[in-house]
């Protein structure tokens, strides 16, 4: 299990341990709380530095490690997402390889409307995150490993350190600032649904690429209203047109670059592109081949971890 110290990796670890699976957990952090990984054996490993030395024999690898931010140096993204994936493959030759990718491998310059898996990867990306994740997918397929590639979109749930905090961070006084019209549909992926897909991918005996989302897409404004209600935040949702928002994001990113900022700015071109238009995925293949049975979108308890 790579990326075990993170949000998704920890959740998958706990689920596998609860099923009686012997799990070897790896992450970049020196140590993690035992309860985060369900008491699995933990070892620190920075995949970007190279393959694991003295790797144990395993039946399957769930590869959750990677950079999940949407802004930063190109070299760093490829080092973690692309080189790290190749190092994970090299460390466990012969093992079934479950690669947790992202819906960001779809074309960021066009709406994603109930996209099927064969519509990605593409030749153009808005940032190094999407490009590096697409390169990682190609590396998995080229490796010849018995593999399953999972593509979630906007993963949320208890322990989330990215999506829900970003929504809350967009609240300015009595307003929550967003982009588009608010009526665009989006596919979200609850962490419990992604965990289910990872477990199925370890066991199913099938290979291929699968979109993994909640049962049905939701309307963006409805989702934001539910998130705010779960957090107990009262804020009116204000939507900025995509064009001006994209121009503003370009300026904000430029200022951050000039300032040498290490943390991503609150507004990025990637975020605008993914929120301003429809981003929905077809999960027919996962249902039919993996036996995937997702729950509907729900933010109940999302802040409880």
pLDDT tens digits, residue range 194-226?
999 999 999 878 999 999 999 999 999 999 999
Rounded to 5 degrees, φ, ψ at 20 are 85, 15
pLDDT digits (tens, 9 = 90+) for 230-282: 888 889 999 999 889 889 888 988 888 888 777 777 788 888 888 899 999 99
- The predicted model gives 133-157 an average pLDDT of 97
What pLDDT, on the 0 to 100 scale, is given for residue 283? Answer: 98
| % of residues, the chain, pLDDT over 90 | 75
Q: Write out the two tokens for 134.
A: 């697409």
Residue 301 located in a structural domain: no
What pLDDT, on the 0 to 100 scale, is given for residue 297? Answer: 97
- The predicted model gives 28-41 an average pLDDT of 96
Q: Which residue has the higher pLDDT, 300 or 188?
A: 188
Is the N-terminal amide bond of 121 cis, ω within 30° of 0? yes
Decide if 15 contacts 195 (C-beta within 8 A).
Answer: yes
Q: Which residue has the tokens 């992604």?
A: 194
Residue 295 located in a structural domain: no
CB atoms within 10 A of CB 141: 16
Residue 79 located in a structural domain: yes
Confidence at 302, pLDDT banded by 50, 70, 90: confident
Residue 271 located in a structural domain: yes
Q: Write out the two tokens for 256.
A: 């951050």
Cβ-count burial 71-92 (b if 16+ within 10 Å, e if not): bbeeeebbbbbbbbbbbbbebb
Q: Given a cut of 70, is residue 128 above it in pLDDT?
A: yes
CB atoms within 10 A of CB 299: 21
Residue 99 located in a structural domain: yes
- The predicted model gives 88-111 an average pLDDT of 96
Q: Write out the two tokens for 3.
A: 């990326």
As a whole number, the mean pLDDT across the chain is 93
- The predicted model gives 52-71 an average pLDDT of 91
CATH number at residue 116: 3.40.50.720
Residue 1 located in a structural domain: no
Give bridge partners of residue 175 from the DSSP assignment.
172, 236
How many domains are there within the chain?
1
| Domain span at 70 | 7-290
Residue 302 located in a structural domain: no
Angle (CA) 76-134-94 rounded to 5° is 95
- The predicted model gives 96-107 an average pLDDT of 97
Q: Given a cut of 90, is residue 99 above it in pLDDT?
A: yes
Q: Which residue has the tokens 């530095």?
A: 49
* Residues 6 or more apart whose Cβ sits within 8 Å of residue 92: 55, 58, 61
* Residues 6 or more apart whose Cβ sits within 8 Å of residue 19: 199
Residue 280 located in a structural domain: yes
CB atoms within 10 A of CB 173: 7
**Maximum C-alpha span of the chain:** 55
Decide if 32 contacts 4 (C-beta within 8 A).
Answer: yes
Q: Write out the two tokens for 218.
A: 């939701």
Decide if 32 contacts 44 (C-beta within 8 A).
Answer: no
Decide if 51 contacts 26 (C-beta within 8 A).
Answer: no
Cα–Cα distance between 259 and 151 in angstroms, integer?
34
């Amino acid at each position: 299990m790579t990326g075990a110290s993170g949000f998704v990796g920890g959740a998958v670890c706990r689920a596998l341990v609860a099923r009686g699976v012997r799990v070897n957990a790896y992450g970049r952090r020196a140590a993690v709380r035992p309860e985060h990984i369900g008491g699995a054996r933990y070892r620190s490993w920075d995949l970007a530095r190279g393959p694991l030395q003295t790797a144990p024999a395993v039946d399957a690898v769930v590869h959750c490690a990677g950079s999940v931010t949407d802004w930063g140096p190109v070299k760093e993204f490829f080092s973690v997402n692309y080189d790290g994936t190749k190092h994970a493959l090299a460390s466990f030759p012969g093992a079934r390889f479950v690669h947790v990718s992202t819906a960001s491998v779809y074309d960021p310059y066009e709406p994603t409307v109930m996209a099927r898996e064969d519509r990605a990867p593409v030749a153009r990306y808005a940032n190094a995150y999407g490009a590096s994740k697409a390169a990682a997918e190609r590396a998995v397929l080229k490796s010849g490993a018995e593999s399953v590639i999972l593509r979630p979109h906007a993963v949320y749930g208890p322990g989330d350190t990215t999506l829900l905090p970003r929504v809350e961070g967009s609240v300015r006084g009595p307003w929550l600032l967003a982009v588009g019209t608010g009526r665009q549909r989006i596919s979200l992926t609850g962490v419990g649904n992604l965990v289910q897909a990872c477990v199925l991918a370890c066991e199913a005996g099938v290979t291929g690429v699968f979109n993994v989302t909640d049962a049905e897409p939701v309307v963006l404004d409805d989702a934001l209203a539910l998130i705010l209600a779960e957090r107990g935040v009262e804020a009116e949702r204000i939507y900025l047109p995509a064009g001006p928002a994209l121009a503003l994001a370009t300026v904000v990113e430029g200022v951050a670059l000039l300032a040498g900022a290490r943390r991503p700015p609150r507004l990025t071109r990637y975020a605008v592109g993914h929120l301003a238009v429809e981003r929905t995925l077809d999960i027919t293949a996962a249902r039919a081949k993996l036996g995937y049975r997702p729950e509907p979108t729900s933010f109940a308890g999302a802040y409880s971890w």
